[in-house]
A and B are shown apart, each in its own frame.
Chain A
Amino acid sequence: MFVAPSDPTNKVKNLKLSQLCELCHSRKAIIKRPKNLQKICKLCFFHVFETEIHNTIVDNKLFYRGEKVAVGASGGKDSTVLACILKLLNERYDYGIELVLLSIDEGIVGYRDHSLATVKRNQQQYNLPLEIFSYQELYNWTMDEIVEVAGIRNSCTYCGVFRRQALDRGAAKLGIKHVVTGHNADDMAETVLMNILRGDVARLEKSTAIMTTSKGSPIKRSKPFKYSYQKEIVLYAHYKKLDYFSTECSYAPEAFRGTARELMKNLEAIRPSCIIDIIYSGEGLVLKPKKPKRQTVVTKNSSKKMKEGNNTTSAKKTEFVDGNRCEKCGYLSSNKICKACMLLEGLENSRAKISIENDTSADGAAKTLRTLENLTF
């Protein structure tokens, strides 16, 4: 059940001139925009927030008339606001797109089942079609089973790889070639920061793209909330009384991302524009072209080998070829076998070992874990 936030009943006394909205100058300002520190009222906030997203969509030509677009819907704040706003803008500006909610059921009892219940309510509230695909039907594994086998520490790795593919496959089954996700400016800033901290320059260059496509894939992805602050998304949901799900995943969040997030939040508290600034920095970074393999630094050890046979080093590394397909499942992959299939293979091997002893699949590992947590001596 959704309990909407209460409306304030107390009237403002003695409104000062300095408290007025900086845009309409007639109503009381209720928020200070993190982007530019402008103080604005509720109605002006709705207007600028929606219009900025519309401008992002138009400037980047995200949609074309008649396009079928799937909204990756988790029931969380970002995707809920995204579905709501896209429906609204589609009607207001007549984009002529056809929206579908696309959800992935990872199979996490006590978490995803509840958030999917929210998506099902959203389906009614926004009157949009909803399609749900589960890890169970796509991979024959639920996340609960995966965690039982692979441990909680790796849960985000598995879940991330599988979800990415699941969204693509779900969209393909529906004949949809465009998936939009609710990734916001904070998420993107966090990712840029993480890629810098990890030295992952290959990902760094890609991480600020508003739309990503692969040559071999018919499905493109885009992020209409690229420039939208998390704070404003939450405020929008709050003022519009949107029904969203907000519980942390049963499995621990990625520790590194969590720390990067906290760092971003602390920086934002001091300098709110830093979120948009770091995205801007990310956009400006362009990798210098890779040097040809032969000219790579010759270290002392390898120089001997080079003299013996000069062909040994070059052939080893496989080049990333866009558009290759996995030999097992036919999904896009830079290697012979895609990452999901590799992970699945590892899982199948360990399932064989433990499947006989414990069968908790009905309740799920999350529930088991929580039961354990609640035990006291």
Chain B
Amino acid sequence: MVKVKVEFLGGLDVIVGKERIHKVEVTRDDGNAVNVGDLIDYIVAKMIKEKNDVEVFIDNGSIRPGILTLINDTDWELEGEKEYELDDGDVVSFTSTLHGG
């Protein structure tokens, strides 16, 4: 089990009860280390209130293009994306870049 902070920024908070910052505990049944892929599954299953909102967040099985994913402020592309193994206290943020300026 890991305890991490998940943030929904740039307007994405609307899909998770309009709260920007969430503290969550994620576990895996097989006892392996929890990775970002597991966290995303957790968000889809437990945190997104309306089923219709899932497609705002997910596209083609991964994070929708146009949403910026940071792990401890580092672009997740540099951290192995879904494979990154989470530690207690990690901060994962999702920021929508799509809203008007």
Contacts and interface: CB of A to CB of B under 8 A. Distances in A.
Interface in B38-85: 65-66, 68, 70, 72-75, 77-78
B68 A247 contact: no
Interface residues of A, number: 42
Nearest to A29: B78
Given A234-B10, A239-B73, A248-B11, A265 B99 contact: no
B98 interface: yes
B100 A248 contact: yes
B26 interface: no
Contact of A235 (B21, B68, B101): B68
A30 B11 contact: no
Interface string A12-56: 100000010000000011111000000100100000000000000
Nearest to A246: B11
Given A30-B75, A31-B75, A231-B68, A5 B93 contact: yes
Contact of B70 (A182, A238, A253): A238
Contacts of B90: 8, 10
A331 B68 CA distance: 42
Given A6-B91, A230-B97, A234-B97, A39 B78 contact: yes
B35 interface: no
A212 interface: no
A42 B73 contact: yes
Contacts of A10: 72, 87, 89-91
B27 interface: no
A77 B99 contact: yes
A197 B66 CA distance: 22
Interface of A: 3, 5-10, 12, 19, 28-32, 39, 42, 74, 76-79, 182-184, 187, 230-231, 234-235, 238-239, 246-249, 253, 261-262, 265-266, 268-269
23 contacts: A3-B20, A5-B9, A5-B20, A6-B5, A6-B91, A10-B90, A10-B91, A31-B78, A74-B100, A76-B100, A76-B101, A77-B97, A78-B101, A238-B68, A238-B95, A246-B9, A246-B10, A246-B99, A248-B100, A261-B98, A265-B65, A268-B65, A269-B65
